[in-house]
Amino acid sequence: MSRVITFGEIMLRLATPGYARFSQVDNFNATYGGGEANVAVSLANYGINVDFVSRLPKNDIGRACMIDMRKYGVGVGNIIWGGDRLGIYFLETGAVSRGSKVVYDRAHSAISEIESGMIDWDKVFTGATWFHWTGITPAISQGAANVCLEAIKEANKRGITVSTDLNYRKNLWKYGKTAEEVMPELVAGCDVILGNEEDAEKVLGVKPEGVDVTGGHVEADAYLSVSQQIMKQFPRCKKVITTLRGSISANHNSWTGVLYDGETLFKANNTYQITHIVDRVGGGDSFMGGLIYGLITWPKEDQKALNFAVAASCLKHTIYGDYNQVSVEEVEKLMNGDASGRVAR
């Protein structure tokens, strides 16, 4: 039986109601979210045995966050306690030609002060078959980067599949090192690499030619050379996946993806036109959750795994909050062509 471990930061999300601007509100909607935590919730929804590993402050907010993860079926037994605060991010949801905005308040969060040796990876990885991390974690602090590398090396020793979402966040790299200085050593230990056009360029220095995401259409074939360059740079890597988002407006995106296995560039069967986005935060994480599920469930069917990931993420755009709260049956329904949205009764 597969057992997945994800490691990273989870934050308190404070979002303006509806499409209100920060300057207009006197209250915020409070939920929780974070890259690796979002992936864990997706996998738990699909019936995968998954544990989320992090460091939380031992106070009421930290406990509430842990309870939130537990209620979605995510294992929390390997969370460690310490530090003074949970990181926060503020979200203003954009509309039409006004993009969304995120303001971080995560300096000195519990996980930013994590150090090597604090997590017993031997215990965490007992029975594990897959380990997932994102580029957000090593961007938080040198300590978080060190622990992430520690985990990757331990997973490699045990033959555990390691995946990453490159997830470049320019506003996070503030502790004196750049993504290009830190990330390659971590990515070198990965079997599965996910990213988009900005991630590949900013993190790995790999750039597709002739790509304009603001035009509303992204050509899949442009990413074959990117995938080949990544595999050449990181020989351990077995699959490179690229999410392709065309941004027509804040409310209307096209969405698809490609997967390269070293020989074939698989293109998702569908390019979804998401015309009424409810919440796009966590869209990439929902793709990763769907992809991991697909690769575990259909290990010799990369096309099917890719189709599942794209459909799962399309559905996430209709759901408020960071988490993708959908079932396998709902994803497969869309994946197989039923996008009618008819009432189920």
Over residues 214-227, the pLDDT tens digits come to 455 556 677 888 89
Indicate the range of 132-141, 218-227, 272-281 predicted with least confidence: 218-227
The end-to-end CA distance of the chain, in Å, is 34
pLDDT tens digit sequence for 29-64: 999 999 999 999 999 999 999 999 999 999 999 999
- Global pTM reads 0.94
Extents of the domains making up the chain: 3-335
In the chain, the amino acid numbered 28 is F
Mean pLDDT of the chain: 93
pLDDT at 196: 81
CB burial of 215-244 (b: ≥16 within 10 Å; e: otherwise) equals eeebebebbbebbebbbeebeebbbbbbbb
pLDDT exceeds 70 at position 345: no
- Token pair of 237 as six digits: 């890597």
- The highest-level CATH class for domain 3-335 is alpha beta
120 vs 151: CA distance, rounded Å: 9
pLDDT tens digit sequence for 170-192: 889 999 999 999 999 999 999 99
